[in-house]
Amino acid sequence: MRDVAVISFAQAKNQRRVADLNEVEMLMPVTGQVLDQVGMTIDDIGFTCSGSSDYLAGVGFSFVSTLDGVGPWPPIQESHVEMDGAFALYEAWVKIQLGEIDTALVYCYSKSSPGDLPMVLTRQLDPYTVAPLWPDTVSLAALQARALIDAGRTTEPEMAEVAARSRRSALDNPNAQLAWDRPAGDLLTEDYHVAPLRKHDCAPITDGAAAVVLAAGDAARRRVERPAWIRGIDHRIEPMALGLRDLTVSASTRLAGEKAGVADGPVDVAELHAPFTHQELILREALGLVDHQNVNPSGGALSANPMLAAGLIRIGEVATRISSGEADRGVAHATSGPCLQQNLVCVLEGES
Amino acid sequence: MTAAASTPHSEGAPLAITLPASLQGVELVRSVRTPAQLDYQFTAGAATSRFLRGIAQKKILGERCPVCGKVYVPPRGACPRDGVPTSEQVELPHVGTVTSFCVVNVAFYGSSMELPYTSANILLDGSHLSLMHLIQEIPADQVRIGMRVEAVWVPDDELKPTLESIKWFRPTGEPDDVNVDIPGEDHGTGLGSWVGGVAPIDPRGTH
């Protein structure tokens, strides 16, 4: 295996709605910054991989016009995933492992605001028997939360604690969309949004973008003092049919965590991509981080959830803390699909 | 479990499923229709908004890349060569050259055009990106690469921030520009010499 590191990370300020810019205009400052930070241009990049979804933009092949923002002429080596940027990072990591290239630019973005997001996301469900019912994402997550509560594995007060802690942590995150300091007890007095979920249990709808630069071995060491090395990365998928899964556990996260080697060393920081409070509890259990004290110091997806980018942001947040020396070893997680269907786990580490 | 059930495909027979009595004799589902519609509020973006506001004033505004100097129209806000925002606006003439075209002979949903009609890529003078529009006021079989065309606008009181404010392009009657640059073709202008049905000749003779 080649040593591959995250050497640069940038993200847009997360907002409920970016009304004046199109996707490429929103993205360009981010891809520009991520390269500038390490003194690189697109000419120094061996492979570019992006994550976005035409369903969110409501425009076919929207990723093609966004590619203009990195300057793809003369032609560059490039790929795209209709998934979170974390999965684009995985593709880029594999490409670097093949040995043909030493550097990669990974970027992702979404404007979730143009459409009705919970309805748009129904289109990822089984097209014959489930999608025609238009079950929105919040309702599906509420089913999952209900199953977890009924199994005696969480309570509404415990979920409110996750919400309160995440939004409090977000006060230190200048890119966060939702940040406030309210006691969990107060939150429980609010009405249900979709029972047993209250609004604070749900991630906000966010427009945003993020980018990462990966580099192998000396190409990384040459450019930054303390690269955040990817020590393990793995992703797994569960069946499409929700009825085939035990929604109270995340078997795919557990397996990905084992393969990525989460338990092989101390975890100083973990960023888990949990768009709903109860999902953080499921993920903690799957990764052996039930009582961990430093989960989602950025505020997590509950404080900003740009679709297709919130997973890569988790990796970027951990990498930034490693590169700054704040942490030595960390875990980043990204999810995709309804009720934590697909999960990616990445273990990052700094050199002493 | 019977031997037949454990190896259902061994003799090419499908796995036998026993339906409950209530479903016996029910017609098989051969297809399902699940109509879906999603509504979006599209954001044109800063550059395209500037362009569309210009159209409403009967102006065609391209945008120039500060690095390579190329002019894009309609602008999306980024230079695909340099990956930087375009910023300088450039007012373009309403005249250009056909760089490619197709004759549409098949009606498609939502189109009110009379068949056949011609859709073309048109490179406005002074720009480096062709825009797509209709060619009219000439029989479809006479449209050709290199043909000089001009915009035909709707009446001034009907101008709106949409490309439909240009009804179509029509021939100017000028001689064809056989050396028109095809955007994206770095190696020359061979396609231009298809004018009049003559095969392209590479001007450098390196075909």
Same domain, B88 and B141: no
pLDDT at B205: 45
Q: What are phi and psi of A266, to 5 degrees?
A: -70, 150
What is the CATH architecture assignment of A117-201+229-349? 3-Layer(aba) Sandwich (3.40)
Please name the residue of chain B whose CA is at the shortest distance from the CA of residue A74: B81
Chain B neighbors of A114, CB-CB under 8 A: 40-43
Question: Is B102 a domain residue?
Answer: yes
Per CB-CB distance under 8 Å, the chain A contacts of B41 are: 113-115
- Flag if A25 and B45 touch (Cβ within 8 Å): yes
CB contact under 8 Å between B77 and A115, yes or no, is: no
Q: Mutate one of B40, B86, B186 to test the A interface: name it (highest A CB count within 10 A).
A: B40
A83-104: burial string, b at 16+ Cβ within 10 Å, e else:
bbbbbbbbbbbebbeeeebbbb
First-to-last alpha carbon distance for chain A, in angstroms, is: 20
Task: Label residue B173 left, alpha or beta by phi (over 0 means left) and psi (-120 to 50 means alpha).
Answer: left
Same domain, B185 and B101: yes
**Residue B174 falls inside a structural domain:** yes
Residues B153 and B180 in one domain: yes
Instruction: Name the domain count of chain B.
Output: 2
Contact B78/A20, CB-based, under 8 Å?
A: no
Please report the beta strands in A12-96, taking only residues with DSSP state E, as ranges in sequence order: 47-51, 78-81
Res. B202: pLDDT tops 80: no
Q: Which residue type, as a one-letter code, is found at position B68?
A: C
Contact assignment for B43 to A18 by CB distance below 8 Å: yes
Nearest to A58 among B38, B46, B48 (CB): B38
Chain B residue numbers with beta carbons less than 8 Å from the beta carbon of A59 are 42
Which residue stretches of A2-53 are H helix? Answer: 23-36
- Residues in chain B with CB shorter than 8 Å from the CB of A115 are 38-41
Residue B32 lies in a domain: no
Both B131 and B148 in one domain: the answer is: yes
For B40, nearest residue in chain A (alpha carbons):
A115
Does the pLDDT value for residue B5 go beyond 50? no
Rg, Å, chain A Cα set: 19
Which of A17, A20, A22, A116 to mutate to test binding with chain B, by most B CBs within 10 Å of its CB?
Answer: A22
In a domain, B55, yes or no: yes
Range A18-22 contact pairs with CB under 8 angstroms and sequence separation of 24 or more: A18/A111, A18/A113, A18/A207, A18/B43, A19/A113, A19/B43, A20/B43, A20/B45, A20/B46, A20/B49, A21/B43, A21/B45, A21/B46, A21/B77, A22/B43, A22/B44, A22/B45, A22/B46, A22/B47, A22/B48, A22/B76, A22/B77
Range of the domain at B108: 93-193
- What is d(CA A225, CA A6) in angstroms, rounded to the nearest whole number? 12
Residue B204 has pLDDT above 60, yes or no: no
Residue B199's pLDDT is 44
Whether B20 is covered by a domain: the verdict is: no
Which residue among B92, B117, B149 closes a domain? Answer: B92
Name chain B contacts of A119, Cβ cutoff 8 Å.
38
Q: How many CB pairs under 8 A join A and B?
A: 87
Categorize the per-residue pLDDT at B183 as very low, low, confident or very high, splitting at 50, 70 and 90. Answer: low
| List of chain B residues whose C-beta atoms are within 8 Å of the C-beta of residue A113 | 41
The CATH class for the domain spanning A4-115+205-221 reads alpha beta
Structural contact between residues A196 and A142, judged by C-beta atoms closer than 8 angstroms: yes
Quick one: B117 and B85 in the same domain? no
For residue B76, give the nearest of A22, A57, A73 by CB distance: A22
Task: Give the A-side interface with B, CB within 8 Å.
Answer: 18-25, 28, 31-32, 42, 55, 57-59, 65, 67-73, 111, 113-116, 119-120, 123, 127-128, 131-132
Q: Where are the beta strands (DSSP E) in A42-122?
A: 47-51, 78-81, 103-111
Does residue B102 sit in the same domain as residue B181? yes
More confident position, A308 or B22: A308
ipTM > 0.90 (yes/no): no
- Inter-chain residue contact A59 with B82, CB threshold 8 Å: no
**In this structure, what token pair is assigned to residue A51?**
């994550």
The minimal CB distance from B43 to the residues A21, A55, A67 is found for: A21
Q: How far is B39 from chain A (nearest CA, A)?
A: 6
Q: Given A25, A59, A72, which is nearest B46 (Cβ)? A: A25
Say what the pLDDT of residue B191 is: 46
Give pLDDT < 50 ranges for chain A. none
Answer yes or no: do B114 and B72 share one domain.
Answer: no
Mutate which of B38, B84, B87, B185 to test chain A, going by most A C-beta atoms within 10 A?
B38
Angle A311-A315-A317 from CA coordinates, rounded to 5°: 105
Q: Identify whether residues B59 and B85 lie together within a single domain.
A: yes
Please tell me the predicted confidence (pLDDT) of residue A210.
98
What does the buried/exposed string (b/e) look like for B105-114 if buried means 16 or more CB atoms within 10 Å of the residue's CB?
eeeeeeeeee
Q: Do B34 and A131 touch (CB under 8 A)?
A: yes
In chain A, the residue whose alpha carbon lies closest to the alpha carbon of B184 is A73
B96 forms beta bridges with B124, B149
In a domain, B4, yes or no: no
Task: Mark whether B80 and B97 lie in a shared domain.
Answer: no
Q: How far is A100 from chain B, CA to nearest CA, in Å?
A: 24
B132 with B157, same domain: the answer is: yes
Question: Do B54 and B141 reside in the same domain of the chain?
Answer: no
User: Is B195's pLDDT higher than 50?
Assistant: no
Long-range CB pairs of B5-10, under 8 A, 24+ apart, other chains included: none
Res A284: pLDDT? 98
Indicate the pLDDT class of residue B11, thresholds 50, 70 and 90. low
Partner residue facing A114 (CB), from B41, B78, B85: B41
pLDDT of residue B192: 43
Q: Is A138 left (phi over 0), alpha (psi -120 to 50) or beta?
A: alpha
Distance from CA of B57 to the nearest CA of A (A): 21
Q: Kindly list the domain boundaries of chain A, sorted by start residue.
A: 4-115+205-221, 117-201+229-349
| Residue B86: C-alpha distances to residues A21, A258, B2, B52 (Å) | 13, 47, 72, 16
For residue range B69-95, what is the model confidence (pLDDT) as tens digits? Answer: 999 999 989 998 899 999 899 999 999
pLDDT at position B61 is 97
Q: Point out the domain boundary residue: B92, B115, B130.
A: B92
What is the predicted pLDDT for the residue at B29? 87
Interface test with B, best of A27, A68, A105, A125 (most B CBs within 10 A): A68
The CATH code of the domain that includes B146 is 2.40.50
SS3 state at B84: coil
| Cα A282-A91-A13 angle, rounded to 5 deg | 65
Nearest CA in chain A to B31: A128
Residues B105 and B174 placed together within one structural domain of the fold: yes
Which residues contact residue A310 at a Cβ distance below 8 angstroms, ignoring those fewer than 6 apart?
A84, A203, A206, A208, A273, A275, A301, A304, A334
Fold equal for A4-115+205-221 and A117-201+229-349: yes
- Contact at CB, B85 and A72, closer than 8 angstroms: no
**Nearest-CA distance from B120 to chain A in Å?**
20
Q: Looking at per-residue confidence, does B195 or A331 come out higher?
A: A331
| B3 lies in some domain | no
Q: Which residue of A has its CA nearest to B84?
A: A69
